[in-house]
Amino acid sequence: MLIRLLRRHLRPYTGTVVLVLLLQLVASIASLWLPTLNADIIDNGIAKGDTAYIWRIGGIMLAVSAVQVVSQVIAVRGAARTSMGLGRDVRERLFDTVLSFSSRELGQFGAPTLITRNTNDVQQVQTLTFMSLVMLAAAPITGIGGVWMAMRQDVGLSWLIAVAVAVLLTGMAVVIARMVPLFRAQQKKLDAINRVMREQIGGVRVVRAFTRETEEKARFRQTNTELTDIGLRVGDLMAVMFPFVMLVMNVSSVGVIWFGAQRVESGAMEVGALTAYISYLMQILMSIMMATMVATMIPRASVSAERIVSVLDTGTSVTAAAHPQRPDRLVGEVDLRSVDFTYPGAEEAVLHDISFSARPGTTTAIVGGTGSGKTTLLRLVPRLADVTGGQILVDGIDVRELSPQDLWSRVGLVPQRPYLFSGTVATNLRFGDPDASDEQLWEALRVAQAEDFVSAFPEGLDHPVAQGGTNVSGGQRQRLCIARALVARPTIYLFDDSFSALDLATDARLRAALRPRTQEATVVVVAQRISTIIDAEQIVVLDAGRVVGVGTHDELLATCPTYEEIARSQELTGAAA
Ligand SMILES: Nc1ncnc2c1ncn2[C@@H]1O[C@H](COP(=O)(O)OP(=O)(O)OP(=O)(O)O)[C@@H](O)[C@H]1O
């Protein structure tokens, strides 16, 4: 998965990657050359007292160092640009993919993990890419080149390199084998902590109202402690690893000096070669350590890549038709034909065999007990989910055959839980029509009975709105969402219990103002209060996902016991109505 993700997203940076690798090659060759030059100065310059030679080789050493530094600076900059660019591209792709998801896919993943995947998981892949280009790419050149250069200085001490490398590799392998499962667990715990945080921030009022702060704190503390414990265990392993690497390096240097000194004494090796040998051994061990360190990141980044790719590979279940029908004019007639719907993973359907038509210029109300499927039914029209049986037609065309943009631009949905975006009243209202004039906004606000409170804001239309619309009351939020739908001037209005937070008088005024405004549109209203829909041309009564009655208020009172019962419970059976 990691390779696939990198291959797909590194393609635009191929040129930079090749340049970085070439520069790393140059920098590694330069750093491998330096100890040999140093040995040369000691053996041929200092030992023989040849000052001119020392100056000449010293000059070459300076030039080589300069090449090394410049190459490395450019390489690191290239690596940073590549990895940051990769991170940005992957985040963008993830965002686009998530935006195309229907409620089925959103429910399948859940918001907390989608956020972690777009932030922390991408960060893991990004960091691995950077470290690989900076450290991993140079490691084989320095490691293998170091062995070759060291052997050129003295073959007799090769066994020391072999022993040191074997000990270092074994020790690192043991440590890393323990780290990998911890990294996996760490990613999962991050998801968990994100989930708890989101739940608690979202539900903070409920937490306070039920004085559940202590319990919620305990729940957060537990998840937080688990994450900390994993971090500490990783830290413990690191605490062992670094001294171990230093020990191997120091012991092997002592070994080189010990055995090298004997070879110098016997005349088999020169002093300069011995110093070069120590440098090469350090370079070899360092490169192994760096490579292993980066290698420890691979499992964690692989887990992250899997999590990213699984989102990218999830197509939306609400797909656009290959050859969508593009009618010139949609008048907004909605026909439901034997519609069934089952939520993914659910055993039973929540909607069974629903059939009715909603005509332009009329209001169709949907009533029914809690959980009878009203919201679900409404969401099927703009394809927030697709029917699992039957058909929904708009102007005679199956909604799945229409281009989603055409469909969405004609449907104005006011959801049960009204949501506003951070910005201002005006930016929220212009969601439906970015070109709407201020006058059009005020008109929509007037119809939605929101003019009074918006004009009371000192900034009026420019009054700031917090994310989710939390700085306005529930009823104000509902009215702003209604106004937003009105600004878009759709041909089909879907109001999902949108008047529930309004007092009876405002509800009545709003409905009266809506009538002329929605004269030519198809209006579908889900309502709990019968008084809200008493004038509707057609009322559809749902009970446990089935239609148990269709008619006007008076007809249903006479023919539909379920409706009669709801109306009676609201004292709207006779004179009161
Ligand atoms: N995302 C979901 N996954 C699984 N089941 C769901 C999901 N959303 C709703 N349901 C179930 O579908 C049924 C119908 O829910 P729906 O929200 O459509 O009812 P409703 O009539 O709008 O209720 P209310 O009047 O309380 O808003 C319920 O039994 C509910 O538990």
What is the spatial order of strands in the sheet that 546-551 belongs to?
411-414, 492-496, 522-526, 363-368, 538-543, 546-551
Distance in Å, CA 528 to ligand 1 centroid: 14
Stretch(es) of the chain classified as CATH 1.20.1560.10: 2-312
pLDDT > 50? residue 576: no
Does residue 57 contact residue 37 with C-beta atoms inside 8 Å?
yes
- Ligand 1 centroid–CA 371 distance in Å is 5
- Give the residue, by CA position, lying nearest to ligand 1 atom 24: 370
Q: Which atom of ligand 1 is nearest to the CA of 376?
A: 18
Residue keyed to tokens 């009715």:
356
How many other C-beta atoms lie within 10 A of the C-beta of residue 246?
A: 12
Q: Is the minimum distance from the CB of 374 to ligand 1 under 6 angstroms?
A: yes
Protein residue whose Cα sits closest to atom 2 of ligand 1: 343
DSSP-derived 3-state class of residue 24: helix
Helix (H) or strand (E) holding 557: helix 553-559
Backbone angles phi, psi at 391, to 5 degrees: -150, 150
Q: Could you identify the residue written with the tokens 């004085």?
A: 211
pLDDT higher than threshold 90 for residue 506 = no
pLDDT tier at 577 (50, 70, 90 boundaries)? very low
Residue whose Cα lies nearest atom 6 of ligand 1: it is 343
- Using DSSP, state whether 503 is helix, strand or coil: coil
Is the minimum distance from the CB of 369 to ligand 1 under 6 angstroms?
no
pLDDT for 575 beyond 70? no
Question: Per-residue pLDDT tens for 84-96?
Answer: 999 999 999 999 9
pLDDT for residue 62: 96
* 122-131 vs 271-312: helix crossing angle, rounded to 10: 150
Provide CATH 3.40.50.300 ranges for the chain: 334-416+489-569
Structural contact between residues 141 and 28, judged by C-beta atoms closer than 8 angstroms: yes
Environment class of 168 (CB within 10 Å of its CB; exposed 0-12, middle 13-18, buried 19+): buried
User: If you compute the radius of gyration of the chain from its CA atoms, what whole number of angstroms results?
Assistant: 35
Question: Over 80: is that where the pLDDT of 322 sits?
Answer: no
Please report, for the chain, how many H helices and E strands are present, in that order.
Answer: 21, 12
| Mean pLDDT confidence for 292-312 | 86
- Rounded Cα distance between 533 and 260, Å, is 97
Q: Is the CB of 255 under 6 A from ligand 1?
A: no
Which tops the pLDDT comparison, 357 or 155? 357
Q: Is the CB of 346 under 6 A from ligand 1?
A: yes
- 31 or 573, greater pLDDT: 31
Segment 407-413 shows an average pLDDT of 88
pLDDT digits (tens, 9 = 90+) for 176-199: 888 878 887 887 888 888 888 888
Mean pLDDT computed over 343-350: 86
Residue in the block written with tokens 């993990």: 113
> CB under 8 Å to 335, separation ≥6 — which residues?
357, 358, 391, 392, 393, 394, 396
pLDDT band at 378 (very low <50, low <70, confident <90, very high): very high
Q: Spell out the residues 6+ positions from residue 240 whose beta carbon is closer than 8 angstroms to its own.
A: 175
Average pLDDT, the chain: 88
Contacts 24+ apart (CB under 8 A), 91-96: 91/118, 91/119, 91/122, 93/9, 93/312, 94/118, 94/122, 94/308, 94/311, 94/312
Q: Is 383 in the pocket of ligand 1 (CB under 6 A)?
A: no
Query: ipTM score here?
Result: 0.94
Q: Shortest CA distance to 466 belongs to which of 479, 452, 477, 454? A: 477
Please state whether beta strands 363-368 and 538-543 pair in parallel, antiparallel, or not at all (unpaired): parallel
Q: Which CATH architecture has domain 2-312?
A: Up-down Bundle (1.20)
Instruction: Report the range of poorest mean pLDDT among 59-63, 408-412, 499-503, 566-570.
Output: 499-503
Residues 22-36 have pLDDT tens digits of 999 999 999 999 999
CATH of region 334-416+489-569 = 3.40.50.300
Note the pLDDT tens digit of each residue in 517-556. 888 899 999 988 888 888 889 999 999 899 999 999 999 9
Instruction: Say yes or no: CB of residue 371 within 6 Å of ligand 1.
Output: yes
Can you tell me which atom of ligand 1 is nearest the CA of 107?
1
Angle at 413 between CA 411 and CA 418, to 5 degrees: 160
What separation, in Å, do the N-terminal and C-terminal C-alpha atoms of the chain show?
64
Q: Which residues contact 73 (CB under 8 A, 6 or more apart)?
A: none
Over residues 441-488, the pLDDT tens digits come to: 999 999 999 998 899 999 889 999 888 777 888 888 989 999 999 998
Task: Report the greatest alpha carbon distance in the chain.
Answer: 121
Does the pLDDT value for residue 572 go beyond 70?
A: no
Ligand 1 neighbour 368 (Cβ under 6 A): yes
**Ligand 1 contacts CB of residue 370 (under 6 A):** yes
User: What is the C-alpha separation between 366 and 377, in angstroms, rounded?
Assistant: 9
Ligand 1 neighbour 415 (Cβ under 6 A)? no
Q: Give the strand pairing for 546-551 and 389-394.
A: unpaired
What share of the chain in percent tops pLDDT 70?
99
Distance CA 24, CA 15 (A): 14
Determine which residue's CA is closest to atom 26 belonging to ligand 1.
370
pLDDT value at 111 more than 70? yes
